[in-house]
Amino acid sequence: MFKKRVVIFLLSFFVYACASHSRPTLYPNEVFKEKGPLVARADIDQCLKSADEYLKSPEGKKVANGSRGFGTMMGGAVSIGGSSNVGVGVGVGTHDNGMSSMDVKRSFVNQCLANKGYQVLAWD
């Protein structure tokens, strides 16, 4: 049982760490070409910081708490109990109708960058 808890903890830490360092990749449109990659990177950093601040605000917490996302995923993983299939527990927790706090953050950053004239191509 101890090994399962360690595996679950490490899995959750890895998923959170990877998700929290995710960054958008911008489409090289006219705004990107005009400002250049250094200014674009600074704009991304500013939007990421604004998104983090928003998620800490009462309104941001309400949006993030209204969705189940990461907490539900981990609840599903922890609830596997005697099962030896961690993937099943994780999978059960991720099938909800809400947005995770990372989804909210990405939406916020996408809109922030769009307001600056950028187009987000993907997230890495």
Number of structural domains, the chain?
1
Three-state secondary structure call for residue 55: helix
How confident is the model at residue 92, as a pLDDT?
Answer: 43
Residues 4 and 10: their CA atoms lie apart, in Å, by: 10
- pLDDT (tens digit, 9 = 90+) per residue, 1-14? 656 654 454 444 44
Q: Give the pLDDT band of residue 64 (cuts 50, 70, 90).
A: confident
| C-alpha closest to that of 37 among 50, 51, 52, 23 | 23
24 neighbors 110 (Cβ within 8 angstroms): yes
How confident is the model at residue 70, as a pLDDT?
Answer: 47
Q: What is the pTM of this model?
A: 0.61
Q: Give the pLDDT band of residue 65 (cuts 50, 70, 90).
A: confident
- Count CA atoms within 13 Å of residue 89 on its CB side: 20
Tell me the residue range of the domain where 79 lies.
Answer: 2-123
How confident is the model at residue 98, as a pLDDT?
Answer: 64
How confident is the model at residue 25, as a pLDDT?
Answer: 98
